Each structure stands twice: as C-alpha cells, then as structure tokens.
Amino acid sequence: MSNLPFVTDWKEAVSYFHKSDDLNDAQKSYIIGFLAKEGKSNAEIRQLLGIQKVYTVTHYKRAGTLLSEEELQLWSRNPIRITLGHIRAVTSLPRVKREALLRGILTSRKSVQELVLIAKGKEPGLDVDIKRFAIEMGESIGRNVSISFDKVKGRGSLTLDFYSLDDLDDLSSKLGYAAQKDF
C-alpha cells in the first residue's frame, strides 16, 4: 500500500518526484496537482519534472487538482484496481458520485468504458431497444439475429445465422450479393 507524500513547498515536491523511482499514478497526480496549486504552469511542471509529453501533465494535473485528498489516497492504495483511465472517466462527476464509484470499482471491477457511460449519464448494459430490434428482425427474416452495440463508440455488428450452404446462398442473394456458381 502506498501513501501520498507529504510535501510543504514546490521544491520539496520536485525533489520527492525525482528521488522516488516507483511512484504510482496517484502519487504523480498528487505531486503535479500540488505544483499546479502552487502556481506552476503545465510547461513549468513538465520542465521541473522532466516530462516530455504535454498530455501526461494534463491528465495528472486534472486528477491531482479535482480529486480530494481522500480520493487520491484511495487511488494510491489501490493502483492496480483503479487506473488513470478510471480516474479520467470520473473526474467530471460531482464528488459524491465520484467517491462512490471509486469505492465501487474495488468491489465490482467496473471497466473504464462503463465509467465513461456513467459519467455521460448513460447506464452500461444491453440497450433494450437494440435487443428488441434484434428479436423483431429475427422474427421477420426467420433466423437468429444478434446485434452487438458499443454505446461509447456508437457502432456495432450484426450477425445473421445460416443453417446450410444453400441457406447462405439464399441469404446472400437477399442481401443483394450474387454469388458466382463456378469458383
């Protein structure tokens, strides 16, 4: 279990960052958030800590400035179960919802995609309209239809069952594909 560092000024925070080789994401977020609260810009933070990628500081800074110390401590103590992806998904939520979701990750192992949906106000799971559409389509065409839909990306796949090669040819022609008989 890792605890958050105790630092009193920006120089001590920078020193702690460089002396510690095995900081987890929560500890990095805490240090970067501390530097931001001390008035350091993203460019200054990157230079002080030797971070090359711009978005790295941005992600850590968002977490380090928006999360409470208790939430950062919870994340720091569970860096394998709660990832930076989880944190990025929940930072836009109010603190009451955020803390409950973070604690819920420890017991239910929610994926980052599930948290993104929750943050957008959509509950994860099978969309009942998609399920109903698959059932009705299957009844209409006389075969099993499966629809897989990714709410986050807004796309999916449609699977139609066939029961013989002749059935496949019939299905292909209904879809507008004229298979040549002599391959």
Give residues with Cβ within 8 angstroms of 90, minimum separation 6. Answer: 97, 98, 101, 102, 115, 119
- Residue 72 dihedral angles phi and psi, to the nearest 5°: -65, -40
Mean pLDDT of the chain: 85
pTM for the structure as a whole:
0.65
What is the C-alpha R_g of the chain?
A: 25
Q: Do both 96 and 155 map to the same domain? A: no
The residue type found at 4 is L
- Please check whether residue 4 lies inside any domain of the structure: no
| Structural contact between residues 143 and 174, judged by C-beta atoms closer than 8 angstroms | no
- The parent domain of residue 32 ranges over 10-119
Q: Which residue has the tokens 């803390």?
A: 99
Quick: pLDDT tens for 156-180: 898 888 888 888 888 888 888 876 6
Please say whether the dihedral angle defined by the alpha carbons of residues 172, 177, 180 and 183, taken in this order, is positive or negative.
negative
Q: Do both 36 and 114 map to the same domain? A: yes
Q: Do both 145 and 61 map to the same domain? A: no
Q: Do both 111 and 155 map to the same domain? A: no
Over 80: is that where the pLDDT of 124 sits? no
Q: How many domains does the chain divide into?
A: 2
44, 95, 108, 146, 170 from 33: Cα distances, Å: 13, 17, 28, 46, 62
Quick: pLDDT tens for 2-38: 689 899 999 999 999 999 988 999 999 999 999 999 9
Average of per-residue pLDDT across 40-61: 94
The residue type found at 64 is G
Q: Which residue has the tokens 């890792």?
A: 2
Quick: pLDDT tens for 83-106: 898 898 888 888 878 888 888 888
Q: Do both 115 and 142 map to the same domain? A: no
Quick: pLDDT tens for 136-151: 888 888 788 888 887 7
Q: Do both 109 and 132 map to the same domain? A: no
